[in-house]
Amino acid sequence: MKTDQLGRRSFLKTSALAGVSGFLTSWPVRGEESAAPLRFGLIADIHKDVMHDADQRLRSFIDDMKKRDVDFILQLGDFCVPKEGNKPFLEIWNTFEGGRYHVLGNHDTDGGYKREQTVAWWKMPSRYYSFDRGGVHFVVLDGNDVPKDHTGGYPCYIADDQQEWLQKDLAATKLATVVFVHQSIERESDGAIKNGGAIRKILEDANQSAGERKVFGCFSGHHHRDYVRQIKNIVYPQINSASYYWVGGDYQKVRYSKEVDASHPYIKYTVPYKDPIYAIVTIDAARGFMQIEGKSSEFVGPAPWDLGKDRKAWDADTLRAEVSAWKMPIA
């Protein structure tokens, strides 16, 4: 598997030299060639059921998206479970009057809920689905299928029926395509899609059948990291959590008040971000680029590497309170 993993600052620099490096090829414009630039907001892993200030974080995102007048918003999973106490949180999301789209995360069924319950509560059309906006085809996948050899824990898998649907969906569109899935299909571990290689091959085969770069990007969350990877001319941006990085019990530290710790006991197993972070994506076929404008913040309290292990062990280059800005040529 040929891959390049780049921090977004490096990606921006490399992309500027794409004509020299051959890093990216031409944008396969189809359909609405004169369409205006498409802009949408992305937020990932806000974790309403962990964070004490998740409502404020979501409200900040929604207010910003309204101000920027984006075409639609999408959350990449680990949003909230479908319980009555989370209704005000969901209502904040629904105040955005444009398109609103959801991706199922592994924590969105915590507490014994079924995926179908979350789908119905969020008013999703299905666990996986597709839609067209601004001359671009968007695909939403569900990475929470259960493989036959599952032995416990959170399943991270895309089953045969969903794979068959994906193949047919990609074959049916003539538009350039972007994919969204909660868990990464380009990582090899750390909770990535177990059969990610098979899913990547479906995307790559769609490009080969089209004779050009039909599928050009696949966005994911879940890993609470900040980077972009390229595999066989498809870019895989990892959108950081809006709220925190999970460090676990060995590195726990109370970072807010005793009252917050009592009401939200899982926060101490994280390194929270002071402010919500998220992304605004622009796809401009006429000018020939796709870019992310990312938000940045800072850690609340000590950084992970100040708690134990060095920066290299934490892979500090991709662990930061930021969704970095980057831009790639598409023409």
Q: 271: number of CA atoms within 13 Å, CB side?
A: 23
Give the confidence band of 233 by pLDDT, cuts at 50, 70, 90.
Answer: confident
Taking Cα atoms as reference points, which of 122, 115, 119, 63 lies closest to residue 87?
A: 122
pLDDT at 27 exceeding the cut of 70: no
pLDDT at 206 exceeding the cut of 60: yes
Give the confidence band of 50 by pLDDT, cuts at 50, 70, 90.
Answer: very high
Q: What is the pLDDT of residues 38-47, one digit of tens each?
A: 999 999 999 9
For the chain, domain boundaries: 3-329
Mean pLDDT of 111-115: 97
Identify the pLDDT of residue 34: 45
Q: Which helix (H) or strand (E) holds 253?
A: none
Q: Name all contacts of 125-133 with Cβ < 8 Å and 24+ positions apart.
A: 127/162, 128/162, 128/165, 128/166, 130/169, 130/173, 131/99, 131/101, 132/173, 132/175, 133/38, 133/40, 133/71, 133/72, 133/99
What single string gives the DSSP state of each residue in 105-159? -GGGGTTT--HHHHHHHHT-S-SSEEEEETTEEEEE---BPPPTT--SS---B--
φ/ψ of residue 66, rounded to 5 = -65, -45
Neighbours of 19 (CB within 10 A): 9
Q: What is the pLDDT of residues 277-320, one digit of tens each?
A: 999 999 997 787 889 999 999 999 999 999 999 999 999 999 99
pLDDT at 21 exceeding the cut of 90: no
Identify the pLDDT of residue 234: 92
| CATH architecture of the domain formed by 3-329 | 4-Layer Sandwich (3.60)
